[in-house]
A and B are shown apart, each in its own frame.
Chain A
Amino acid sequence: MIPFSLQKASSVGDAIAAARAGARYIAGGTTLVDLMREEVEQPDRLVDINALPLKRLQADGDDLVIGALVTMSACAAHPDVKRLQPVISEALLEGASPQLRNLATMGGNLLQRTRCPYFRMLDAGCNKRTPDSGCSAMDGYNGNHAVLGTSSHCLATHASDVAVALVALDATMQVLGPNGERTFPVEDLFRLPGTTPHLEHTLQPGELITAIRVPGGRYAPRARYLKVRDRSSYEFAVVSAAALLDLENGVIREARIACGGVGTKPWRMRACEQALAGRPADRSSFELAARLSLAGAQARSGNKFKMELMPATIVRALELARDVP
């Protein structure tokens, strides 16, 4: 690791002032320490935010307010999360390992970096890590890369599981920065790669995520997260889907779907959702709708299988959601 200076923030104001002066936030460290050791990330100043009072998780009516420093394991196990939005627990427990979930925070999870292997290989071209150095995945290994939202500069996926569930749930995030507080949809945190894949999110310099708010709704408990991966636990998604259904007498009033492993950001499937409204909750409606996920999708040599696996995963996730007892 390249030496750096480290300061502990004792208040939110402290933390933001340090970040404004160029320091990077460190929470659980499970993304940042790892990438610093690989020298993919080389911050010269860190500000440790673990002592800040952002660890509260509470229900506000049917809404959930999740502090940015709540760990993945604490969030997954929280009785209000299990009661109001069990799909969040499901998505969290499908990710990482107990050791990691005990460290990793909800805020850090959203800002985790891609698992594209070239991103970590300092001698390989990677526009995301080193702007204008090329994209080694384009004609190299791209077996687990995105088919939606890609550009000629980058096709890496965003690897978070819980972000997929949060995007499907229309969750919003609260951030605080040098210019005050903002609230915006979690979906708008992520940028498409375009010609600048190194710019991954829409936070302004110094902005600190303080909380995630999940609106209560008609979906729980008919909401499931299905993660398809190369082994049954402790592996990133090949394709995943969060599916939420609001049913009345077997007919779909409204559906929400988001996918992971297929997009350069957690990908909301609005065309599929619209196609499902008013249809019976059966396999043929699901299959018709799931096909619409392919609009605009483009595969490279190694990830063509996702063009089949993505709609199949959506269909299966919808069935799981429908069949929640």
Chain B
Amino acid sequence: MAKHHVTTTVNGDPVEYLCESEQTLLDCLRDELDLVGAKEGCSSGDCGACSVLLDGRLVCSCLVLGVEAEGRSVETIEGMAQGDELHPLQRKFLEHAALQCGICTPGILVAAKALLAKNPDPTETQVRYWLAGNLCRCTGYDKIVRAVMDAAAEMRGA
């Protein structure tokens, strides 16, 4: 079937790609744009490894069709650091050793950033509920939650 031509913005840059109807946004990011930060864990909405922001809202890119990105703005983990300077969340994940295999990490960082954008001072419970859609098989979550709380404190200037 005819390919769709999609014009969109990814991490602030205008981009274009061609995709089939059945390619998801995750497929397009990874296979058409070589942005392989977002991971495919389950492709069924369960794990959150594919989390990106679409028009500023956190979504699972595995359940969004690639054509849906037309005219929208997509933010991925690749846009999080400013050049060599890591985002405070990224730094705190390293400091707290909040990752092991790392498959869940891009999705969790993007999700945590979305949380702090709307709630700069979350409680531990709020962090845990917000990150409920991001599964991690390695860390047991504790270090992740602490890293997010610590980054939030630093970003608030506390």
- Max chain A C-beta neighbours (<10 A), residue from B1, B43, B48, B132: B132
Enumerate chain A residues within 8 angstroms of B114, measured Cβ to Cβ.
98
CA distance A68 to B59 in the complex (A): 19
From A6, A30, A98, give the contact of B58 (CB < 8 A).
Answer: A98
- 26 A-B pairs with C-beta separation under 8 A: A1-B22, A2-B22, A3-B1, A3-B20, A3-B22, A4-B1, A4-B21, A5-B1, A6-B67, A28-B63, A33-B62, A33-B65, A34-B43, A34-B45, A34-B63, A36-B22, A37-B44, A38-B44, A73-B57, A98-B58, A99-B48, A100-B60, A102-B54, A102-B57, A233-B128, A233-B129
Enumerate chain A residues within 8 angstroms of B105, measured Cβ to Cβ.
none
**Would you list which residues of chain B between 40 and 99 have a CB under 8 Å from chain A?**
43-45, 48, 51, 54, 57-60, 62-65, 67-68
Q: Which chain A residue has the least Cβ–Cβ distance from B55? A: A102
Task: Please classify the interface of chain B as helix (H, G, I), strand (E, B), loop, or mixed, using the class held by over half of its residues.
Answer: mixed
**Would you list which residues of chain A between 1 and 16 have a CB under 8 Å from chain B?**
1-6
B63 A29 Cβ-Cβ under 8 A: yes
State whether the Cβ of A50 lies closer than 8 Å to any Cβ in chain B.
Answer: yes
State whether the Cβ of A96 lies closer than 8 Å to any Cβ in chain B.
Answer: yes
From B4, B65, B132, give the contact of A97 (CB < 8 A).
Answer: B132
B133 A30 Cβ-Cβ under 8 A: no
B22 A4 Cβ-Cβ under 8 A: yes
- Top 5 closest pairs, chain A to chain B, by CB: A97-B133, A1-B22, A234-B132, A233-B132, A6-B21
CA distance A111 to B22 in the complex (A): 21
Which residues of A are interface residues toward B (Cβ below 8 A)?
A: 1-6, 26, 28-30, 33-34, 36-38, 46, 48, 50, 73, 96-100, 102-103, 233-234
Enumerate chain B residues within 8 angstroms of A234, measured Cβ to Cβ.
132-133
Known: A5-B21, A6-B21, A46-B21. A103 touches B64 (CB 8 A): yes
Q: Which chain A residue has the least Cβ–Cβ distance from B27? A: A1
Total contacts A-B at CB 8 Å: 81
State whether the Cβ of B111 lies closer than 8 Å to any Cβ in chain A.
Answer: yes
Beyond A34-B63, A97-B45, A99-B48, 18 additional contacts (C-beta under 8 Å) are: A3-B1, A3-B21, A5-B1, A6-B21, A29-B68, A30-B45, A30-B60, A34-B43, A37-B43, A46-B21, A96-B133, A97-B134, A99-B59, A100-B60, A100-B133, A102-B59, A103-B60, A233-B128
From B4, B20, B128, B130, give the contact of A98 (CB < 8 A).
Answer: B130
Known: A3-B21, A5-B1. A99 touches B60 (CB 8 A): yes
A98 B133 Cβ-Cβ under 8 A: yes
CA distance A214 to B22 in the complex (A): 36
B65 A29 Cβ-Cβ under 8 A: yes
Q: Which chain B residue has the least Cβ–Cβ distance from A120? A: B44
Enumerate chain B residues within 8 angstroms of A3, measured Cβ to Cβ.
1, 20-22
- Max chain A C-beta neighbours (<10 A), residue from B45, B51, B58: B45
CA distance A30 to B43 in the complex (A): 11
CA distance A17 to B59 in the complex (A): 30
Q: Which chain B residue has the least Cβ–Cβ distance from A74? A: B57
Enumerate chain A residues within 8 angstroms of B45, measured Cβ to Cβ.
30, 34, 96-97, 99-100
Q: Which chain B residue has the least Cβ–Cβ distance from A45? A: B21
Q: Which chain B residue has the least Cβ–Cβ distance from A77? A: B118
Enumerate chain B residues within 8 angstroms of A98, measured Cβ to Cβ.
58, 111, 114, 130, 132-133
B22 A30 Cβ-Cβ under 8 A: no
CA distance A216 to B19 in the complex (A): 46
Enumerate chain A residues within 8 angstroms of B54, measured Cβ to Cβ.
102
- Kindly provide the distance from the CB of B133 to the nearest chain A CB, expressed in whole angstroms: 2
CA distance A291 to B36 in the complex (A): 54
CA distance A98 to B128 in the complex (A): 12
CA distance A119 to B64 in the complex (A): 22
Q: Which chain B residue has the least Cβ–Cβ distance from A7? A: B21
CA distance A99 to B20 in the complex (A): 24
Enumerate chain A residues within 8 angstroms of B44, measured Cβ to Cβ.
34, 37-38
B1 A33 Cβ-Cβ under 8 A: no
Q: Which chain A residue has the least Cβ–Cβ distance from B1? A: A3
Enumerate chain B residues within 8 angstroms of A38, measured Cβ to Cβ.
44
- Kindly provide the distance from the CB of B48 to the nearest chain A CB, expressed in whole angstroms: 6
Enumerate chain A residues within 8 angstroms of B51, measured Cβ to Cβ.
99
- Kindly provide the distance from the CB of A147 to the nearest chain B CB, expressed in whole angstroms: 26
B4 A6 Cβ-Cβ under 8 A: yes
Known: A6-B67, A29-B64, A96-B133. A102 touches B58 (CB 8 A): yes
CA distance A29 to B63 in the complex (A): 6
CA distance A3 to B2 in the complex (A): 11
